[in-house]
Amino acid sequence: MSQISVEHLKKYYQVHQKEPGFTGSLKSFVRRKYTDVKAVDDLSFSIVAGEIVGFLGPNGAGKTTTLKVLSGLLYPTSGAVRVLNFIPQERRAEYLKQITLVMGQKQQLSWDLPALETFLVNQAIYEIPHTQFKSTLDELTQLLELAPLLKKQVRKLSLGERMKCELAAALLHRPKVLFLDEPTIGLDVTMQTKIRQFIGEYNRLHGATVILTSHYMADVTALCKRVIVIDHGKLLYDGDLAALSARIAPHKLIKVELSSPLDGHRLEDYGEVIRARGQRFDLLIPRAQTSEVAARMLSELPIADVTIEEPPIEQVITRVFEEAAEARRDAGIKDDADDED
């Protein structure tokens, strides 16, 4: 049964346009120009309990807006949204007690107090029984290695330490549904990995449903089997991450290392050489011919090592957006910025 269902969600913002400078201010004072920004434009999807879904799209695609609608912060312009059988924008206490939204760029911890102080406030606000609070805090402290951080003023923590505390504060009430908006933004690779592992662990331990946005594809590939790709507020792809690259990228990558020097041009016979470093070459081979070409290379060339890989997911995603942009151009749809009044 689906736990999150979004049907034909639209969220338009009215934004008033102002030219820079004093005359711009005057003009805008006399006559305000408004444009509708279609942050989310007819989006539908559904997610079942326990899934981790990667929510992908460039800046301004509508990811954050969708997450804010799902967590009850924004009223949809139209469409039907249900999470855990609640209508989010009604913001019922019983609903809010079962979800959480973590925004990498916003914090709920009091800047000048230790994180523990915020935890205690959340215990009261979420009506968490004392024993459950203790066991959850113990678990989070262990998973996130919080012990040395809890009693330090938040402002004295590093960015990564603060993010770990933010996550803990957001999960103390053991939410069933997690909306994570860029939870690893600005963190170094080690800390990203830790946060990522923690999210996976939390999902396994508590069967929580997770929607995750991230600009780091590593977060997505490590955690999400399924991705939802949106751009300009519209759905571009919803499904298996692996199937996406198969559909979008018609090539696979063959990496060969030769055992003796060879003229690079000879490799052009097998496929497009996209990279050559000494005796190592990367070739793009049409997906269907990959194994045949690889076999030919093995028999015809002095090969020390060969691997066949999917192209990097970043390239796949970039390709999805390029295709969507081409489709928009072909359809003659204007960009939002061109609409007036």
Partner 1 sequence: MPGISRFDMLKKYLALIRRGLGLILEYRVGMIIWMLTGAFPLIMLAVWLSLAQDGPIGSYSAGDFVSYYLLALYLRMMTAVWVAWELDNDIRHGELSIKLLHPLNPIHEYISFNLADKIFRFVLTTPLVVLVALLVPGVHYALNPLNLVLFVLATAVAWYLRYVTQYTVGLLAFWISQATTLQDIIWMFFLFLGGTIAPLELLPDAVRAVATYLPFRFMMSFPIEIMLGRLSNTDLLIGFALCAGWLALFHLISIFVWRRGLRSFSAYGA
Both tokens assigned to 233: 């507020």
Minimum CB separation of residue 117 from partner 1 in Å reads: 5
Residues 10-49 that bind partner 1 (CB under 8 A): 13
Residue 115: which residues within 8 A CB-CB, separation 6 or more?
Answer: 109, 146, 149, 150, 152, 154, 157, 165, 168, 169
Q: Which of 26, 48, 125, 298 binds partner 1 (CB under 8 A)?
A: 125
Stretch that binds partner 1, among 91-99, 202-210, 241-249, 255-263 (CB under 8 A): 91-99
Stretch that binds partner 1, among 97-105, 212-220, 229-237, 329-337 (CB under 8 A): 97-105
Q: What are phi and psi of 7, to 5 degrees?
A: -125, 120
Minimum CB separation of residue 81 from partner 1 in Å reads: 15
Contact 212, 54 (CB under 8 A): yes
Distances, alpha carbon 72 to alpha carbons 55, 68, 101, 167, 181, in Å: 18, 6, 10, 19, 15
Q: Please state, in angstroms and rounded to a whole number, the distance separating the CA atoms of residues 226 and 141.
A: 29
Q: Please state, in angstroms and rounded to a whole number, the distance separating the CA atoms of residues 52 and 61.
A: 20
Minimum CB separation of residue 247 from partner 1 in Å reads: 32
66 binds partner 1, rule: CB under 8 A: no
Q: Which of 75, 261, 265, 334 binds partner 1 (CB under 8 A)?
A: 75
Q: Please state, in angstroms and rounded to a whole number, the distance separating the CA atoms of residues 98 and 86.
A: 10
Q: Which of 30, 93, 331, 337 binds partner 1 (CB under 8 A)?
A: 93
Contact track, partner 1, 177-206, x by CB under 8 A: ----x-------------------------
66: alpha, beta or left? (left if phi > 0; alpha if psi -120 to 50): alpha
Stretch that binds partner 1, among 115-123, 202-210, 224-232, 306-314 (CB under 8 A): 115-123
Minimum CB separation of residue 202 from partner 1 in Å reads: 18
DSSP state of 253: E
**Which is nearer to partner 1, 82 or 97 (by Cβ)?**
97
Q: Is 101 exposed, middle or buried (0-12, 13-18, 19+ CB in 10 A)?
A: buried
**Which is nearer to partner 1, 34 or 304 (by Cβ)?**
34
Residue 200: which residues within 8 A CB-CB, separation 6 or more?
Answer: 52, 222, 223
Stretch that binds partner 1, among 102-110, 251-259, 281-289, 316-324 (CB under 8 A): 102-110
Task: Please report, as ranges, the residues that interact with partner 1 according to CB under 8 A.
Answer: 13, 64, 68, 71-75, 91, 93-97, 100-101, 103, 105-108, 110, 112-113, 117-118, 120-127, 181
